[in-house]
Amino acid sequence: MVQYLEERQAVLNCAREIYSSGMVTGTWGNVSIRVTGKKLMLITPSGMDYQTLEPEDLVLLDLNGQIVEGKYQPSIEAGLHLGIYQQRPDINAVVHVHSPYAVAFAVARKNIPVILEETAQVVGHEVEVARYAHCGSQQLADIAVQALGDKKKALLLANHGLITLGEDLTEALKVSYIVEKTAMISIYASTLGTIHSLSPEDVSFLNQSFKNYGQEK
């Protein structure tokens, strides 16, 4: 019997959702959580079909990257996820997708602007593009962790994809959806004319007041 069955099921549900929502195709993308109160991370395995994945197929690692439990290799981006948990005590979940509209910005190497109130509320900042490095490399992990800093919730990986962070999986997944929607609306709006971003003051106000809603997250 594997440990953390409930947590494994939550990671698996999220992995299936990023696939069914079209934010990844095939076995791309990956999902992890910090096991609360422990110096451990649960992550999807490398290159396995999310539809047939079982909770025990997920890989449990310590924060130095040693496998604690698991019969498969962890996602190739495990180093990136580990780097985030090491740097960000506020973060307990990381979602990585290749959603098409966000990736369009990652290819154009342009920041996704804060054009919607939802973006200000849920993300709270422009989504920048990290410098290009090969997928799965330690260099990519280092670049991304540095670019995320101590506050950012989302980052584009040049010519690759999107990484989103949250206090929990619900938040990390929500940030992915909102960033993808923001990227889509930006592209449509730019075909109609000038894009008007929200001012930094409005972004800050909306982000702060959203945190105090209580009901929503």
Annotated active-site positions, please?
77
- Smallest gap, in angstroms, from Cβ of residue 161 to Zn ion? 4
- Residue 115 and residue 182 in contact, taking contact as beta carbons nearer than 8 Å: yes
Based on the shown chain and the rule CB under 5 A, indicate whether residue 74 belongs to the binding site for Zn ion. no
Residue type, 103: V
What's the burial of 125, exposed, middle or buried (CB within 10 Å: 0-12/13-18/19+)? Answer: buried
Number of residues located near Zn ion, criterion CB under 5 A: 1
CA angle 51, 57, 60 (to 5 degrees): 130
Whichever of 137 and 197 has its CB closer to Zn ion, that residue is 137
Residues in a beta bridge with 28: none
Closest CB to Zn ion among residues 74, 161: 161
With a CB cutoff of 8 Å and minimum separation 6, the contacts of 21 are 177
Considering only the stretches 52-60, 103-111, 156-164, 178-186, report the one whose residues sit in contact with Zn ion under the rule CB under 5 A.
Answer: 156-164
Report the residue number, 61 or 157, with the smaller CB distance to Zn ion: 157
Q: Which stretch binds Zn ion (CB under 5 A): 45-53, 79-87, 155-163, 206-214?
A: 155-163
d(CA 166, CA 203): 18
Q: How far is the CB of 180 from Zn ion (least distance, A)?
A: 14
d(CA 150, CA 146): 9
Nearest residue (CB) to Zn ion, 25 versus 170: 25
Kindly indicate which of the ranges 50-58, 112-120, 153-161, 196-204 contains the residues binding Zn ion, using the contact rule CB under 5 A.
Answer: 153-161
Residue 79, interface with Zn ion (CB under 5 A)?
A: no
Q: Tell me the closest approach of the beta carbon of residue 91 to Zn ion, in angstroms.
A: 18
161 binds Zn ion (CB under 5 A): yes
Q: Determine whether 48 is exposed, middle or buried from the number of CB atoms within 10 Å of its CB (0-12, 13-18, 19+).
A: middle
Residues in contact with Zn ion by the rule CB under 5 A: 161
